[in-house]
Structure 1
Amino acid sequence: MRDAAPDPSRMRAPGAESSPKAAIEVVRAEQLVKTYRRPGTVVRALRGVDLVAGCGEFVAVTGPPGAGKSTLLHVLAGLERPDGGRLDLAGERVDEWSGERWVALRRQRVGLVLSSLPLLPPSTVAGMIELRVLLAGGSSAAARERRAEVLNVCGLQGYEGCLPGELSRRERRRVAIAVALVHRPALLLVDEAADGLEARDAGGALHLLRRLHERGQTLVVVTHDARVAATADRVVSLSGGRVVDDVVLGVSGNARTVGVSDVVELAGYRPLGHIDGRPGPSRLP
């Protein structure tokens, strides 16, 4: 019997109503473990990581180099299978899925933007986007319509005829996000959204993430950049393959608002103090 993908109605696309917005869990990871065995050494990249992202929520995963951020993203995207733990999408367990099923899911409901994501020369920007729709069985008219929509969202109007070699690093990053948005994914995973960008270009990347968030897109963004993390609803901090803190940003009332300086602390670059009334370690391992 053919295995079914998660019910699309349970993985709501951007713009779908949800009350409260994050009540529906789009992704839940429990006690994820990932170990790499290399000659003479064992690298424990993930050591029991938990992470939840609700519908429309923006979660930043931060931490120092080697904390396990990119490994976690790869596991969430199905690029690597965890050695232990559980991963659910829209309430269905997917960590034991085959690679073929994950490829189908990424084409339909999970968008992925890697920091080293290659574009497809010699295709134009329009060609790259339209090809994704055509491969999924869409018509030429639907491909053109969707291309216009995602380019508008990403601020890339007028770039339809450009080749990858004609684009700046910032523009290539935006095109990669546009390609990932083609199928209106319920979950968008982004690795190092502002990595290697100058301050002005990084500001543009942050503006785009905020715009997607405002449209209801569920985001999990892996970053070591405090500017990116400070844009999120929540910051999940990793160190040594473990979650060392999970903080809600911008909470009113008794809990204080967490700012950029706190995010830098959470990333493991400075000692972590008490946040939201919960004691943190005096120094991250």
Structure 2
Amino acid sequence: MQLINTKKDLKTYLEGLSESTSVGLVPTMGALHSGHISLVERAVRENHVTIVSIFVNPTQFNNQEDLEKYPNTLEADISLLSSVTENLLIFAPSAAEMYSDKISSKSYNFEGLEHVMEGEFRPGHFDGVGTIVEKLLRLVSPHRAYFGEKDFQQLQIIKKLVRITDIDVEIVGCPIVREPNGLAMSSRNERLSKDQRKEAGFIYQTLKAAKKEFGTKSADYVMDWVRKEFETHPDLKLEYIKIADVDQLQAVTTKNNSQEYRAFIAVYIGDVRLIDNIAL
């Protein structure tokens, strides 16, 4: 296993690979958990070389306090990755290394994908995501890049990003990995107390029930039902519940049997913000 901190050293490593070597990239912000490991394991299976980037990207945080509280666990992350395979390269640059002179994001037009749900509540977030993902894809030039479906909106935006920037890479979406109580695995879960972590299992329980309701009820009915359910759990503050098509992420008005839908949710428990989604 190699640890590289500079773009120059990464470029040197990549130039040493043969043209027939397939490269998989798993971009992360560290504080790794089993969800990340599932991405890494798939990348290892499907490529000759796997690169895991660990970089807490400042431009995708619209809340400075959230950035400051984000876990920084590089040593533990390296240890966890080494338990998967030693045939990995870890790229862990500083913000100055990635952004050079000015830490700022580009402005993208994701054709409306960036304005709903997370984009509505986190202004500029997806410009930051797009900026760092584009930088990583251009730097590594991987054959495949792996992202989890927990951040499904982000996954769709990254697919759009590679189309509008004409970057030749396959974007691979991977299933959500959950804790025993159904809570979607997230680095932010580490900030929850034991009781909060247990309580947060209600998020997925409600999504599963909403999926069942959606079989016979309208989207508006299901979203109202979810809001009422959260009113019975005062420790969980519902920020939004949205039901949208999976392609354009537009809110459902009338259900179409030929269209796939997902329910998307964001919830605060204390000062920790959690997101999740489920296919309907």
Normalised-by-shorter TM-score class: under 0.3
Taking structure 2 as the reference length, the TM-score comes to 0.28
* Larger RCO (CA under 8 A, 6+ residues apart): 1
